[in-house]
Structure 1
Amino acid sequence: MRAPRRLLLGLAVVAVPLFLALLGPLFAGEPGPRAVSFTLGDGHWLGTDFVGRDVWQQVLHGGRTVVLTALAATALAYAVALPVGLAAAVTRARWLEELLMRPLDVLLAVPSLLLILLVASVFSPGAAGLALLVALVNVPDAARIVRAAAAEAAARPAVEALRMQGESWWRVAVGYVGRSALRTLAADAGVRLTGVLYLVSTAAFLGVGVAPDAADWAVMVDRNRTGLFLQPWAVVVPALLIVALTTGTNLLFDAALDKKGRRP
């Protein structure tokens, strides 16, 4: 598929979940009286959930936490991984590289979801805490990718020339080495954001970071799955919105990278 078509398809796929996540609460209105469980009609476009709450209203309220938590977690992960990975790639001191990377290898050996569940069982984090936990488990892998992408550029003669000219660490590591690795990091960002969305949704599905009765797409799937055959919309709609969000994000990043790579 050509890059422009992939870009348009990605925009079309991601537009609906993003619109509902960011602007949905503005159109949700005040919650009305609860109806009989799984009621269809009477103004309930998608019926009601297992306790009689309007599914459409829950959908309008339920995406903001997922999207904002995932974006915050991805940004926090790179805020730590970028300086660590670039410092490990640029430094000529072997001990500093080992000091920066070996502790991350220990964290990388622990399954991400297991670490989140272990910490959550002790501290019971909210949405902000969940973003921090997801960022923490993504730092080791992100830092390794940053270092690997920057290592080739850091070994070029141009880097040595910049050092001999007395250029600052920022000019060498970010201005030259970081820019050289930008394409690889952009590709990783698309995949990582998708993985973070999956991890945030899975954690919320398991009750981490959100209240059990919160209006959240992942919580809706968990809360209504036992009544799937009685009221499928309460499960299918939020699940499809999460899938559309992750799929559309990947398509957008792929299209942007493919377009950049085809430039003469």
Structure 2
Amino acid sequence: MKSSRTGRFALGAAIIAVPLVPALLGPLAASAPGPRATSFTFGQGHWLGTDFVGRDVWQQVLHGGRPVVMTALAATALTYLVALPVGLLGALTHRRWLEELLMRPLDVLLAVPSLLLILLVASVFSPGPVGLALLVALVNVPDAARMVRAAAAEAAARPAVEALRMQGETWWGTAVGYVGRSMLRTLAADVGTRLTGVLYLVATAAFLGVGVAPDAADWAVMIDRNRTGLFVQPWAVVVPALLIVALTMGSNLLFDAALDDGRDRARTRGSRRRKTMTRTVRTRAGSDVRP
């Protein structure tokens, strides 16, 4: 079982390293752009050919990953930075009006399709990478906050929380201590799927020209601008698309392996607890039958 978990961790790390390495270190390793060649051609020192305006595809791949990855990671972090306190406060407060005040405005945002809201805001303003990260975080906060609230409410309803309150435990200690630990596995599962959704939104928004320039070195923009030459020079589309897929697949594999590891530890603790109780019962039963 342990070797299986190690293998999943190794596989996830290997897959996610494929897009992360060029995304984070690519701009440092990329050389200065050379003269442009003919569009959608191979050879002449271009490993992956040229793009729709004759630029080297490999150099564009090295430069184009950081905007997508950093924007997605920033948007995911901002989402939970808002959703965690809102969801916890909504689940643990005893004031009904405060819970309604926190959750009902989020329901309004939840009813609007995410991509539609991003496009509506982008039609009025011209968001850059920072603005795009804020927009993607905004449309993800309602769903994440409701997930946090549901997980926290389930943990807060356990007898252990009431016992902590009777012992004089502070609200902060209860929320962060017991309830927070009880939510970790649920949050880990949600982070993996949410990061995938955030990557989808960031890539789709960039594909539609939101937050990036039309000719920017960006993996999503590369897919959009080079799709006309897909059957002539496919690497300009296939390589950035595969890198985005590898990023989502690798992140989910890592989170799945972490969840399996936590579940196995919980099972081990439960098995040890049951064995201890069984030995105690047998010892007591043996002492009762002695003359």
Same fold (TM over 0.5): yes
Which secondary structure does the structure 2 equivalent of 1:215 belong to? coil
Which secondary structure does the structure 2 equivalent of 1:255 belong to? helix
Which secondary structure does the structure 2 equivalent of 1:125 belong to? coil
CA distance in 2, matches of 1:262, 1:57: 44
CA distance in 1, matches of 2:262, 2:166: 32
Which secondary structure does the structure 2 equivalent of 1:262 belong to? helix
CA distance in 2, matches of 1:113, 1:96: 29
CA distance in 1, matches of 2:264, 2:175: 27
Q: Which amino acid aligns with 1:238?
A: P
Q: Which amino acid aligns with 1:212?
A: P
> TM-score of the superposition, structure 2-length normalised?
0.88
Q: Which runs of 4+ in 1 moved over 4 A?
A: none
Moved more, 135-144 or 92-101: 92-101
CA distance in 1, matches of 2:132, 2:241: 20
Q: Which amino acid aligns with 2:144?
A: A
Residue identity over aligned pairs, in percent, reads: 83
- For residue 164 of structure 1, report the CA deviation from its aligned partner: 3.8
CA distance in 2, matches of 1:259, 1:162: 28
Q: How does 1:39-188 map to 2 (within 5 A)?
A: 39-188=41-190
- For residue 59 of structure 1, report the CA deviation from its aligned partner: 0.2
CA distance in 1, matches of 2:138, 2:9: 31
* Structure whose CA Rg is larger: 2
Unmatched runs of 5 consecutive residues or more in structure 2? 269-291
Q: Which amino acid aligns with 2:35?
A: P
Q: Which amino acid aligns with 1:19?
A: V
Which secondary structure does the structure 1 equivalent of 2:60 belong to? helix
- For residue 39 of structure 1, report the CA deviation from its aligned partner: 2.5
Aligned match for 1:232, one of 230, 234, 237:
234
* Pair 1:19-2:21 in alignment: yes
Moved more, 201-210 or 7-16: 7-16
Which secondary structure does the structure 2 equivalent of 1:258 belong to? helix
Q: State the partner residue of 2:225.
A: 223
Q: Which amino acid aligns with 1:255?
A: A
> TM-score of the superposition, structure 1-length normalised?
0.97
CA distance in 2, matches of 1:144, 1:238: 33
Measured against aligned partners, the alpha-carbon deviations of 1:217-248 in whole angstroms (never above 9, x if no partner) come to 00000000011111111000000100111111
CA distance in 2, matches of 1:169, 1:261: 28
Query: Superposition RMSD on alpha carbons, in Å?
Result: 1.2
Which secondary structure does the structure 1 equivalent of 2:39 belong to? coil
Unmatched runs of 5 consecutive residues or more in structure 1? none
Q: Which amino acid aligns with 1:3?
A: R
CA distance in 1, matches of 2:126, 2:165: 48
